[in-house]
């Protein structure tokens, strides 16, 4: 029988069940091929089909006109958007029931003009341009006072929710604080009010001393396997120095993030045989009091396990690989 430990996430307080047995990759994992194998000939994100992808909001171009080939990163409205840029901001009530217009922005960042080029295989400068596009779009959207928060995420591979193989990320600007961010903000604010410090800074300091869950401590962006990891090889990338807002990251910090992301994803690809994964950028709300308490971070969530009734019913994730074991495996693999 596998020994299991119930761990509490130091930020949100959520419970995770961690199996403490040895790393058993093949037995426990759902290692479906990540690729969807959608035909490049019909892909709207490939260079030359700019009209299909939609009018560009932002692009990195070495000269040349908009909406034609010649770009390396391109941002367009999401054609399957769940949010609309026009709408009312008020909340409607019907007894116990509440709703509001699906107001917001939903954009797609096409990360490369080439169909079969996963994000972490871009060279570091090209990957930096993707992060530059994220930062630039947050700066622009935060001028719209109807929006409270921005979440950037990435679906890669079949079981991540992706619909296309062509590498892209998505940005959502909400008129509210979504629950996953709200949980973190609440925990961070609680820690600040009791201890007067940033919980993420405290966590990084403890992990740098402990070492068991440290994956990479090179440069300005660190990689850790979180203590209460929900899935095997969950990884958080965080700036070493306190910073609540991704949009305030310097060019140098974005270069450090690009480099750490490349190296960590290369190792995860090796350990899990090129898995599907999600990435989520959590950054402080666009206005408010979170600057001292919150600390931006990028979560990498490999999708090699499935949610079951346990997760839906209890909110407790069962993780068959301890973060100590995952960090050891990822540390043991040199970059490449
Ligand atoms: Zn394509
Ligand atoms: Zn901090």
User: pTM above 0.85?
Assistant: yes
CB 12, CB 308: distance < 8 Å = no
pLDDT digits (tens, 9 = 90+) for 101-115: 999 999 999 999 999
Q: How many CA atoms lie within 13 Å of 9's alpha carbon, on the beta-carbon side?
A: 20
Q: Which ligand has its closest atom nearest to the C-alpha of 49? A: 1
Q: How far is the CA of 193 from the centre of ligand 2 (A)?
A: 14
Q: What is the pLDDT of residue 146?
A: 93
The Cα 39–Cα 164 span in angstroms is 9
Judge contact between 215 and 334, C-beta under 8 A.
no
Q: Which ligand is nearest to the CA of 244?
A: 2
206 phi and psi, to 5 degrees? -65, -40
The answer to whether residue 305 scores a pLDDT higher than 70 is: yes
Question: Does residue 30 surpass a pLDDT of 80?
Answer: no
User: What's the rounded Cα separation, in Å, for the pair 59 and 72?
Assistant: 7
Would you place residue 292 in the very low, low, confident or very high pLDDT band (cuts 50, 70, 90)?
Answer: very high
Q: How confident is the model at residue 308 (pLDDT cuts 50, 70, 90)?
A: confident
CA of 203, nearest ligand number: 2
Per-residue confidence band for 208, with pLDDT thresholds at 50, 70 and 90: very high
Mean of all residue pLDDT scores within the chain:
93
Query: How many angstroms separate the alpha carbon of residue 290 from the centre of ligand 2?
Result: 11
Over range 6-32, report the average pLDDT. Answer: 83
Q: Which residue has the higher pLDDT, 87 or 2?
A: 87
Kindly report, residue by residue over 152-176, the tens digit of the pLDDT: 999 999 888 888 999 999 999 999 9
Strand partners, 214: 224
Using pLDDT thresholds of 50, 70 and 90, give the confidence band for residue 40: confident
Which one has a higher pLDDT value, 301 or 37? 301
| Predicted confidence band of residue 61 (pLDDT cuts 50, 70, 90) | very high
Residue 166 CA to ligand 1 centre (angstroms): 5
Rg (the chain; Cα; Å):
20
The pLDDT score that the predictor gives to residue 62 is 87
pLDDT at residue 33 is higher than 80: no
Does 328 have pLDDT greater than 70? yes
* Ligand 1 center to 164 CA (angstroms): 8
> Does 301 score more than 70 pLDDT?
yes
Helical ranges in the chain per DSSP H? 25-28, 50-53, 124-141, 179-195, 199-210, 251-272, 309-314, 323-331
Q: What is the DSSP string of 214-279?
A: EEE--TTEEEE--TT-SSTT-EEEEESS--S-GGG--HHHHHHHHHHHHHHHHHHHHHHTS--EEE
Evaluate whether 5 touches 316 at the Cβ level (below 8 Å). no
Which residues have beta carbons under 5 A from ligand 1 (an ion)?
A: 43, 45-46, 115, 166
Q: pLDDT tens for residues 216-275?
A: 998 999 999 999 999 999 999 999 999 999 999 999 999 999 999 999 999 999 999 899
How many other CB atoms sit within 10 Å of the CB of residue 55? 10
When pLDDT is cut at 50, 70 and 90, the band that residue 336 belongs to is very low
């Amino acid at each position: 029988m596998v020994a299991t430990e119930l761990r509490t996430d130091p930020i949100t307080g959520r419970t995770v069940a961690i199996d403490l047995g040895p790393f058993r990759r093949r037995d426990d994992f759902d290692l479906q091929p990540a690729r969807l194998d959608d035909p490049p000939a019909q892909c709207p994100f490939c260079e030359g089909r700019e009209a299909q992808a939609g009018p560009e909001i932002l692009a990195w171009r070495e000269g040349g006109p908009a909406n034609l080939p010649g770009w390396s990163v391109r941002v367009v409205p999401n054609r399957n958007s769940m949010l609309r840029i026009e709408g009312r901001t008020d909340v409607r009530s019907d007894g116990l029931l509440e709703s509001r217009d699906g107001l917001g922005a939903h954009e797609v960042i096409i990360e490369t003009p080439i169909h079969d080029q996963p994000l972490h295989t871009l060279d570091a400068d090209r990957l930096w341009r993707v992060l530059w596009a994220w930062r630039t779009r947050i700066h622009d959207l935060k001028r719209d006072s109807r929006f409270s928060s921005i979440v950037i995420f990435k679906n890669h591979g079949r079981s991540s929710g992706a619909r296309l193989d062509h590498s892209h990320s998505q940005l959502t600007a909400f008129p509210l604080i979504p629950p996953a961010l709200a949980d973190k903000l609440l925990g961070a604010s609680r820690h600040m009010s009791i201890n007067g410090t940033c919980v993420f800074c405290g966590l990084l300091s403890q992990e740098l001393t402990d070492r068991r869950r440290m994956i990479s401590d090179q440069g300005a962006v660190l990689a850790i396997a979180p203590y209460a990891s929900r899935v095997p090889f969950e990884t958080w990338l965080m700036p070493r120095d306190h910073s609540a807002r991704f949009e305030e990251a310097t060019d140098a910090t974005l270069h450090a993030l690009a480099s750490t992301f490349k190296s960590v994803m290369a190792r995860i690809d090796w350990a899990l045989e090129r898995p599907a994964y999600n990435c989520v950028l959590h950054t402080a709300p666009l206005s408010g009091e979170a600057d001292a308490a919150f600390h931006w971070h990028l979560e990498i969530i490999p999708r090699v396990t499935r949610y079951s009734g346990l997760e839906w019913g209890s909110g407790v994730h069962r993780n068959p690989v301890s973060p100590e074991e995952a960090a050891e495996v990822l540390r043991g693999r040199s970059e490449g």
